């Protein structure tokens, strides 16, 4: 099933929540939070998409990159692609339980395993969100990364313990969810100081990831507090209106901290070409959100694996056409 067909099939189940636009650019779904859109005017979501579209590629076809390689190692796991599903939860809030948290989490983990990559899970106001994700790692037998909302320090550490017991290979906090309205469900969130985050990072022996980094200063703070990785992310445009796109801030962040910490990125990534662009701008791994979500709604785990495998296939083709024999060879020279 082609990616265009994935979106067409997903449209049948997402009709109430997603317009299935030809370009998933955030224009039509402005302000649709809960739902598929970006917060407020939708500018942050739109900026993610436009920032990537701004970059053009240098075509090179006289070289020896005959069979480009995409295999990498992340936190000790050998994976077939630098592309991972983004941690998403909240089927009840965003999609009125058209699909359950368990179905979503299982689809992502089984699909990630089929595609030869690592799974992820998100957190939410209902315990079911996080627990379904952790259980899906075990059922699918796939290495998984558990992302936790910025609850109280004790609440985060309690969830870290759950993740450790489940066999997760890494944990993290999406710090940019600090203003989400979870208090009414008994799960208040809020900003964390450097010292609070350092305590959280040091509470586990698992690699720790800080998701929601959009400035050089906070990237350097992540290094200083001992985090293993960061995700350059504005929460898919769903946290703060009028932020720049992630591809705009990624190069300066990578210039400062690459080599000291694993750099991941999400936001507006819709194709293997987009993946190559953000790798050229300094990322090492890529998290894909809305395309994977479409995959789940189209064909559960098979839809997820189709999205991840076809994006990887397009990445390899684009590597061949830009002269990159391995993903680690992708750098700013491919950008026009």
pLDDT tens digit string along 180-198? 988 777 889 999 999 999 9
- Beta strands in the chain, from DSSP E residues, in sequence order: 72-74, 77-79, 83-85, 119-121, 144-148, 170-174, 208-213, 229-232, 262-265, 285-288
Characterize the bridge pairing of strands 119-121 and 144-148: parallel
Predicted confidence at residue 1, as pLDDT, reads 60
What residue ranges of the chain have pLDDT lower than 50?
A: none
Find out whether 128 and 120 touch, Cβ atoms under 8 Å: no
From residue 125, give the alpha-carbon distance in Å to each of 100, 148, 158, 215: 15, 11, 15, 27
Residues 6 or more apart whose CB falls under 8 angstroms from that of 161 comprise: none
Find out whether 225 and 189 touch, Cβ atoms under 8 Å: no
Q: What is the pLDDT of residues 105-155, one digit of tens each?
A: 999 999 999 999 999 999 999 999 999 999 999 999 999 999 999 999 999
Q: Which of 157, 175, 169, 173 is nearest to 207 (CA)?
A: 169
On whether residue 27 sits in a domain, the answer given is no
On whether residue 306 sits in a domain, the answer given is yes
Report how far Cα 112 is from the mean position of its chain's Cα atoms: 13
On whether residue 163 sits in a domain, the answer given is yes
Find out whether 253 and 234 touch, Cβ atoms under 8 Å: no
What pTM was estimated for this model as a whole?
0.96
3-state helix, strand, coil split of the chain in percent (to 5) is 45, 15, 40
* Total domains, the chain: 1
268 annotated ligand-binding residue: yes
290 annotated ligand-binding residue: yes
Predicted confidence at residue 187, as pLDDT, reads 86
Predicted confidence at residue 137, as pLDDT, reads 98
Predicted confidence at residue 277, as pLDDT, reads 98
CATH code, 188: 3.20.20.70
Classified as helix, coil or strand, 55 is coil
Catalytic residue check, 235: yes
On whether residue 283 sits in a domain, the answer given is yes
Q: Which domain holds residue 254?
A: 72-334
294 annotated ligand-binding residue: no
On whether residue 255 sits in a domain, the answer given is yes
Predicted confidence at residue 186, as pLDDT, reads 81
On whether residue 243 sits in a domain, the answer given is yes
Characterize the bridge pairing of strands 72-74 and 229-232: unpaired
Predicted confidence at residue 150, as pLDDT, reads 98
Predicted confidence at residue 225, as pLDDT, reads 97
233 annotated ligand-binding residue: yes
Going across the sheet that includes 119-121, the strands are 83-85, 285-288, 262-265, 229-232, 208-213, 170-174, 144-148, 119-121
Predicted confidence at residue 4, as pLDDT, reads 77
Looking at 63, 235, 294, 326, which residue is catalytic?
235
Predicted confidence at residue 185, as pLDDT, reads 79
267 annotated ligand-binding residue: yes
Q: Which of 129, 122, 141, 281 is nearest to 212 (CA)?
A: 122
Predicted confidence at residue 8, as pLDDT, reads 82
On whether residue 12 sits in a domain, the answer given is no
On whether residue 248 sits in a domain, the answer given is yes
**Distance between CA 215 and CA 253 in Å, rounded?**
7
Residues 6 or more apart whose CB falls under 8 angstroms from that of 177 comprise: 149, 150, 189, 212, 235, 239
């Amino acid at each position: 099933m082609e990616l265009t067909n994935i979106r067409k099939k997903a449209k049948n189940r997402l009709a109430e929540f997603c317009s299935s636009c030809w370009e998933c650019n955030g224009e039509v779904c402005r302000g649709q939070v809960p739902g598929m859109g970006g917060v407020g005017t939708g500018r942050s979501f739109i900026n993610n998409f436009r920032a990537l579209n701004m970059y053009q590629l240098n075509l090179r076809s006289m070289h020896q990159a005959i069979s480009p390689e995409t295999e990498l190692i992340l936190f000790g796991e050998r994976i077939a692609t630098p592309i991972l599903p983004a941690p998403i939860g909240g089927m009840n809030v965003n999609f009125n339980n058209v699909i359950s948290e368990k179905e979503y989490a299982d689809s992502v983990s089984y699909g990630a395993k089929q595609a030869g990559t690592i799974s992820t899970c998100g957190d939410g106001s209902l315990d079911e969100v996080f627990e379904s994700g952790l259980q899906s790692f075990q059922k699918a037998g796939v290495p998984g990364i558990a992302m936790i909302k910025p609850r109280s320090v004790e609440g985060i550490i309690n969830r870290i313990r759950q993740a450790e017991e489940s066999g997760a290979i890494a944990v993290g906090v999406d710090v940019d969810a600090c203003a989400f309205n979870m208090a009414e469900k008994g799960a208040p969130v809020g900003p964390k100081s450097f010292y609070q985050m350092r305590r959280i990072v040091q509470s586990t022996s698992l690699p720790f990831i800080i998701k929601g980094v959009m400035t050089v200063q906070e990237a350097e703070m992540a290094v200083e507090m001992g985090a293993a990785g960061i995700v350059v992310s504005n929460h898919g445009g769903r946290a703060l209106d009028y932020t720049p796109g992630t591809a705009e801030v990624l190069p300066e962040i990578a210039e400062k901290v690459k080599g000291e910490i694993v750099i991941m990125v999400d936001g507006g990534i819709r194709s293997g070409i987009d993946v190559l662009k953000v790798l050229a701008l300094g990322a090492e791994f890529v998290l894909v959100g809305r395309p994977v979500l479409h995959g789940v709604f189209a064909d559960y785990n098979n839809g997820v694996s189709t999205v991840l495998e076809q994006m990887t296939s397009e990445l390899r083709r684009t590597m061949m056409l830009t002269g990159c024999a391995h993903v680690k060879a992708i750098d700013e020279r491919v950008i026009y």
